[in-house]
Structure 1
Amino acid sequence: MTAILSLRGVTKSYGSGDLQVQALRGIDLDVPEGDFLAITGPSGSGKSTLMHILGCLDVPTTGSYELAGVDVSQMSESDLAHVRNREIGFVFQQFNLLQSQSALRNVELPMVYAGMARAERQDRAAEALERVGLGDRLDHKPTQLSGGQQQRVSVARALVTNPTMILADEPTGNLDSVATTDVLELFHALHDQGRTVVVITHEADVAASAAHAVRIRDGRLSHEAAGV
């Protein structure tokens, strides 16, 4: 299968001289189109650094990173911002919703930044919310929604630009067990529809629910068996 993500020899270092810290040490990783991958590891393992590179929030010190066949490892910040908006749908632990805005308006935001006409973005936002089971909550603000529902809004926001992949950073970290199951079922549904989903998590049960898993420790990857 075609690799949507491909990392070769990726390293990331911070600082200089004797104060240099190597967060990633020669990462090689291929993620096929339509995969559901979990990346797990303890605090300080390099998990967050790897997420930042996968999400085009940072670039490697050395090595290459291809996203949908394009090498993004040496792009400028403006080019990376374009890739983030068009190719990656982010889902965060904290939801990152605007509390004063409706669910519909929150889902519209990536399309506002892309300059899409209002009528089209409203239609697409409503459709995305319908897909995640919140078609009857368009006008609700985050304070009127449960934690699981708020995370569904953030998933709808991630889907609305039809990105190459969904990148979820600790998406169940603030949810109870019922809401966690609900969100994982949504990720499985997206995976079944052919969507590429990459989840960064420290939770073993969340990692085990993915189709494949890799574990990062001391900046190096090892592959593990996983669930579905």
Structure 2
Amino acid sequence: MTTPMTTPIIEMKDVRKTYATGAIEVQAVRGVSVTIESGDYVAIVGPSGSGKSTLMHILGCLDVPTSGVYRLAGEDVGDLSESRLAVIRNRRIGFVFQQYNLLPSMTACRNVELPLAYAGVPAAERRERAVRALERVGLGNRFEHRPGELSGGQQQRVAVARALVTDPALILADEPTGNLDSSSTADVLSLFAELHAAGRTIVLITHEQDVAEQAERTLVIRDGVLSDRVLAS
């Protein structure tokens, strides 16, 4: 029996991003071609100025390539309107950022509900799904706590719950351990490992090699060029 083909979550072909400042052009991303399948756990690692932030913005549909093709779950995002890109960001991508990006005046549960509110999900369903997501990340007893009442590691877990609540095709984590101590870093990376084992697709962007080593596959970006190889220590 033939195994059915699945559509890659991420497919980039010769993606380039050039920024112009007056007469000066800067090539931030240079001819990136990469495929990431459903259920993969991939780390993109590189130093400051390597192009990883620009690549993250493209992966997250926060920016579009100057040239080349980027398909997310089979959809070419290059020519989409800003409104359609906003829908994709809200429903197909779960973002986890270094700064957590939680609203301090809202409880953990309300913060997790936000993507569902933007999508027009009814209040009762939002609450139910947010509670399930917080339980999934081990914060079943912190629903009504505000960010200021939580540790850094707990706040990042709230951010992961918010990323999960829309059941996205892709979890995109940008330096998710950058503000955490070693114990909280281990907790968050353990959570990512659990999510990967459950079949989630995770792309982790970091400058820390020890963090990148937790992924199944490491991609290194230098001077805007992406390659499959181990970053030298």
TM range, smaller chain: over 0.9
Shift, 1:18, TM fit: 3.2
Choose the corresponding residue for 1:176, options 174, 178, 181: 181
% of aligned pairs identical?
A: 63
Q: How far apart, in 2, do the equivalents of 1:163 and 1:76 lie?
A: 20
1:40-59 maps to which residues of 2 (within 5 A)?
40-59=45-64
Over the aligned positions, Cα root-mean-square deviation in angstroms equals 1.1
Q: Residues 7 and 74 of structure 2 are in contact (CA less than 8 Å); yes or no, is this contact kept in structure 1?
A: no
What SS does the corresponding residue of 1:43 show, helix, strand or coil? coil
Q: How far apart, in 2, do the equivalents of 1:23 and 1:62 lie?
A: 12
Q: How far apart, in 2, do the equivalents of 1:11 and 1:145 lie?
A: 40
Render the CA deviation track for 1:79-105: whole Å, top value 9, x for unaligned: 110100010000000000000110000
Q: How far apart, in 2, do the equivalents of 1:16 and 1:122 lie?
A: 46
What SS does the corresponding residue of 1:15 show, helix, strand or coil? strand
Shift, 1:17, TM fit: 6.5
What SS does the corresponding residue of 2:23 show, helix, strand or coil? helix
Map of 2:3 onto structure 1: none
Q: Residues 103 and 153 of structure 1 are in contact (CA less than 8 Å); yes or no, is this contact kept in structure 2?
A: yes
Q: Verify: 1:134 aligned to 2:139, yes or no.
A: yes
Q: Structure 1, unaligned stretches of length 5 or more?
A: none
Q: Residues 38 and 214 of structure 1 are in contact (CA less than 8 Å); yes or no, is this contact kept in structure 2?
A: yes
Map of 2:28 onto structure 1: 23
Q: Which shows bigger deviation, 14-23 or 154-163?
A: 14-23
Shift, 1:225, TM fit: 4.9
Shift, 1:2, TM fit: 3.9
Shift, 1:76, TM fit: 1.4
Render the CA deviation track for 1:160-187: whole Å, top value 9, x for unaligned: 0000010000000000000000000000
What SS does the corresponding residue of 2:87 show, helix, strand or coil? helix
Q: Residues 212 and 225 of structure 1 are in contact (CA less than 8 Å); yes or no, is this contact kept in structure 2?
A: no
Q: How far apart, in 1, do the equivalents of 2:171 and 2:204 lie?
A: 8
Q: Structure 2, unaligned stretches of length 5 or more?
A: 1-5
Q: Verify: 1:84 aligned to 2:89, yes or no.
A: yes
Letter in 2 for 1:218: D
Q: Residues 38 and 210 of structure 1 are in contact (CA less than 8 Å); yes or no, is this contact kept in structure 2?
A: yes
1:78-157 maps to which residues of 2 (within 5 A)?
78-157=83-162
Q: Which shows bigger deviation, 14-23 or 147-156?
A: 14-23
Q: How far apart, in 1, do the equivalents of 2:190 and 2:170 lie?
A: 17
Aligned residues: 226
